[in-house]
Amino acid sequence: MVEFKIERTTTPTSAEQRQALMADPKFGRVFTDHMAVIRYTDEKGWHDAKIIPRQPLQIDPASTVLHYGQEIFEGLKAYRGKGGAITLFRPEANAARFAASARRLSMAELPEELFLGAIKELLKVDHDWVPSNPEQSLYLRPFTISNEVFLGVKRANEYLFIVLASPVGGYFSGNGSIPVWVSETYTRAAPGGTGEAKCGGNYAASLLPQQEAADHGCSQVLFLDAKERRFIDEMGGMNVMFVRKDGSVVTPPLGGTILRGITRDSILKLGRKMGLTMVEEPVAIEDVFKAAAAGEITEAFACGTAAVISPIGEFRRESGSVAFGDGKTAGPVTMKLRTALCGLQRGEEPDPFGWVHSVSL
């Protein structure tokens, strides 16, 4: 077990201030007092693990991340259940995906033990920031940047791993169903590209189409496959699922161009356990417009760590829009899956999968 050096802040946020900050934190604007940091060099491997006060980084302007974008990240949450206990949901799956992203970006792979250790040590110091409001959680953002000082284009030999923690509410403002813009101009990932990796570059490339979505009054952008522009891939920051009239749930398959969402995988397994028919198969955008208009597809939802399960009200594109159900309220299958998933994540429901980690402080 690697020892983390703990350096606590001398100016902690008071309980009163924290309460005010956490009253309505929204997403990603409020941060805890500390962060986890681990350094890597080719000579020493991963070393210098510590928990320190959250602070600005000092990096050389020639650090390779600033030029060639070797950056990967993860997103997971710490939950506080009804009894006050803190849980993590499938954090080893995030560790595995983080290692896979590192391999794709040719970065140093962080061992699972260090990934989990950094999160648990940070939670020991900042556990007061895990909200007890069931609509909130503590979002954890592990990430790695390359910080070799060099302008040549090559794999860096130095990296910095950091974990930030941020109390959050819902990702989307408002509680209603979200409108989603179907991008027919831009694509997110091509076969052989980095679509399956959780790297900053994928998100940078999604911002212009995301802005196009916002210009059309939409909260997220939906990407189609890069080859034929025919099949649905995923959204800018979440996977997508559809509910058919017969109650079955369908989602596009993994194939290298979409993120292997841990929420997606959990919903597939949980749904099957609940007796639902869960299908992974290519979903053509034209079929969705027709089936939703004909009432054959009755619900659609976004799923991800930040999004949890968010109902989609409609798809919009240049030639028109189509609503799912009444276009406003979450459908029954969406709600049933959401309730089951959230209960499990918070340690409030039995966990037949062994997914929930209790955090000992």
By CB under 6 A, tell whether 63 contacts ligand PLP: no
Q: CB 286 → ligand COI: shortest distance, Å?
A: 27
Q: For ligand PLP, which stretch binds (CB under 6 A), given 39-47, 159-167, 257-265, 316-324? A: 257-265
Q: Which of 35, 262, 268, 340 binds ligand PLP (CB under 6 A)?
A: 262
CB count within 10 Å of CB 8 equals 11
Two structure tokens written together for 308:
């949890």
Q: CB 69 → ligand PLP: shortest distance, Å?
A: 16
Contacts of 186 (CB under 8 A, 6+ apart): 205, 208, 209, 212, 221, 223
- Residue 239 touches which of ligand COI, ligand PLP, none (Cβ within 5-8 Å per kind): ligand PLP
Q: CB 235 → ligand PLP: shortest distance, Å?
A: 7
Contacts of 245 (CB under 8 A, 6+ apart): 295, 296, 297, 298
Q: Which of 261, 271, 325, 347 binds ligand PLP (CB under 6 A)?
A: 261
Nearest Cα neighbor of 48 from 5, 107, 98 is 5
Contacts of 235 (CB under 8 A, 6+ apart): 180, 220, 221, 222, 223, 302
- Residue 38 touches which of ligand COI, ligand PLP, none (Cβ within 5-8 Å per kind): none
By CB under 6 A, tell whether 125 contacts ligand PLP: no
State which residue, 156 or 222, has the beta carbon closest to ligand PLP: 222
By CB under 6 A, tell whether 233 contacts ligand PLP: no
State which residue, 102 or 156, has the beta carbon closest to ligand PLP: 102
Residue 99's H or E segment, with its range, is: helix 91-104
Q: Which of 37, 88, 259, 322 binds ligand PLP (CB under 6 A)?
A: 259
- Say which amino acid occupies 292: A
State which residue, 304 or 347, has the beta carbon closest to ligand COI: 304
Binding site for ligand COI (CB under 6 A): 75, 237, 304-306
Torsion region of 295: left, alpha or beta (phi above 0 gives left; psi -120 to 50 gives alpha): left
CB count within 10 Å of CB 254 equals 15
Distance of CA 153 to the CA centre of its chain: 29
Spatial distance between the Cα atoms of 196 and 206, rounded to a whole number of angstroms: 14
Kindly state the number of chain residues that form the binding site for ligand PLP, as judged by CB under 6 A.
12
By CB under 6 A, tell whether 304 contacts ligand PLP: yes
Which residue ranges make up the site for ligand PLP (CB under 6 A)? Answer: 75, 234, 237-239, 259, 261-264, 304-305
